[in-house]
Amino acid sequence: MLNGGGRAVEFGDIGRAVRLSRRVGLLTLAVCAAGRVLRQGRGGRRPA
């Protein structure tokens, strides 16, 4: 958690938050891509 101790935000906190945000975004993209590949592999189609 960013600034969990109630202290002032420091420059390093911003860098950590940016890195965490990138990781979460990449993980989300990977999960969505894997789900799509698995779904298409089973012959599933997207409803119209």
Q: What is the pLDDT of residues 6-27, one digit of tens each?
A: 788 888 888 999 999 999 999 9
- What pLDDT band is residue 34 in, cutting at 50, 70 and 90? very high
Residue 30's SS3 state is helix
Which residues make Cβ contacts (< 8 Å) with residue 3, sequence separation at least 6? 9, 13
pTM of the model: 0.62
* pLDDT for the residue numbered 20: 95
Give the Å distances, CA to CA, from 37 to 6, 40, 42. 44, 5, 9
- Check residue 9 and report its DSSP letter: P
